[in-house]
Amino acid sequence: MVNCSHSKCGESAVINVTKPYCKSHFISYFESKVAATVKKYKLISKKDRVIVACSGGKDSTTVLYLLNKWFGNVTALAIDEGIPGYRNVTLEDLSSFCSRNNIPLKTLSYKETFGFSLHDALKKVDVLPCNICGTLRRYLLNTGAKGFTRIATGHNLDDEAQSIVMNFMKGNLELAARLGPLTGVVESRKFVQRVKPLYFCHEKEVAAYAFLQNFGIRFNECPHARISFRAAIRDFINGLEQQHPGAKQNIVSNFIKVLPKLKEKYAASSSISYCRGCGEPSSNELCKACIYVNSLKSPAVAAVQHPQKLQSFIY
């Protein structure tokens, strides 16, 4: 049996990701790590109005819990894509969590905004679910975050390592430049700054924290996740990690050293233009969300027809 690695503790360890810890020392280790990230990268200040992008899963519920505990007055923002048997379950968990913790919950749905659910859309278009879902989800998060100064997400170290490798594999350094604990390369008051408090936390650590804190959530995965490019990269990196422990941490730690230079390079060449369909910032005449929505020929695209309503944007 392994003991907790805290110098003043002789208890049995309950988790061993980077070091063995008993329950209470793991919780304080984890919370200190998140607090240090928030402080070092100036992710959130007391003046901020914070909205947390929530899925009802372990990562975003952890962020919601901690930011509410430290800063108070946070709002949860959920997107209902319409994924039967999955999203309805996670949204139920999220709604109960928010009620128990007195956190306001705002939910936006594909069906109400675009006139179709993800389930409907996938019957009509032949694309990978995550491609259309990721685009429309980001669009609704931008819309829902209007009026807030920070949108916090549950991205953890594993997610970031995957995003770095995905962008390198696609040869897209400009997209890689938007990563980091504070995303984006160009500052504008029209953009709601996106922040990632769990940036340096391993996925296993977040899972352990959510489990030990008994958040009352079910640890289920979207049925579409396993056929995405991200899933292939996740399996590849997990395989590497098994053979070369520390690989994930090294991908992120080394990337973050070159990130300021990357952001500098692309900030100089980035100019903000706007989609003629919805008014969102976009590098093309029509943004990807409008292209998807138009291609689905939905008559109920109220949001897209009122560009003045859509001011915020995140990467």
Q: Interface with ligand SF4 by CB under 6 A: which range of 130-138, 194-202, 210-218, 285-293?
A: 130-138
Task: Identify residues 187-226 at the interface with ligand SF4 (CB under 6 A).
Answer: 222, 224-225
Q: How far apart are CB 309 and Zn ion at their closest, in Å?
A: 12
3-state secondary structure 119-163: HHHHHHCCCCHHHHHHHHHHHHHHHHCCCCCEEECCCCHHHHHHH
Comparing CB distances to ligand SF4, the nearer of 44 and 133 is 133
Q: Answer left, alpha or beta for residue 191, where phi above 0 means left and psi between -120 and 50 means alpha.
A: beta
For position 53 contacting ligand SF4 by CB under 6 A, the verdict is no
Please identify which residue in 77, 103, 133, 314 interacts with ligand SF4, judged by CB under 6 A: 133
Comparing CB distances to ligand SF4, the nearer of 42 and 226 is 226
Task: Identify residues 56-95 at the interface with ligand SF4 (CB under 6 A).
Answer: 81
Three-class SS of residue 302?
coil
Q: How far apart are CB 296 and Zn ion at their closest, in Å?
A: 14
Please identify which residue in 9, 127, 134, 212 interacts with ligand SF4, judged by CB under 6 A: 134
Comparing CB distances to Zn ion, the nearer of 146 and 265 is 146
- What residue 94 binds from Zn ion, ligand SF4, none (CB within 5 to 8 A, per partner kind)? none
**Is residue 210 a contact partner of residue 62, using CB atoms and an 8 Å limit?**
yes
For position 277 contacting Zn ion by CB under 5 A, the verdict is yes
List the 150-152 sheet strands across, edge first.
105-109, 75-80, 50-54, 150-152, 193-195
Structure tokens belonging to residue 308: 């003045």
For position 272 contacting ligand SF4 by CB under 6 A, the verdict is no
Structure tokens belonging to residue 301: 């695209």
- What residue 130 binds from Zn ion, ligand SF4, none (CB within 5 to 8 A, per partner kind)? ligand SF4
Max CA distance (Å), the chain? 65
Residues 6+ apart with CB under 8 A from 162: 230, 233, 234, 237
- What residue 287 binds from ligand SF4, Zn ion, none (CB within 5 to 8 A, per partner kind)? Zn ion
Name which of 68, 34, 65, 22 is nearest 156 in CA terms. 34
Residue ranges in contact with Zn ion by CB under 5 A: 275, 277-278, 280, 287, 290
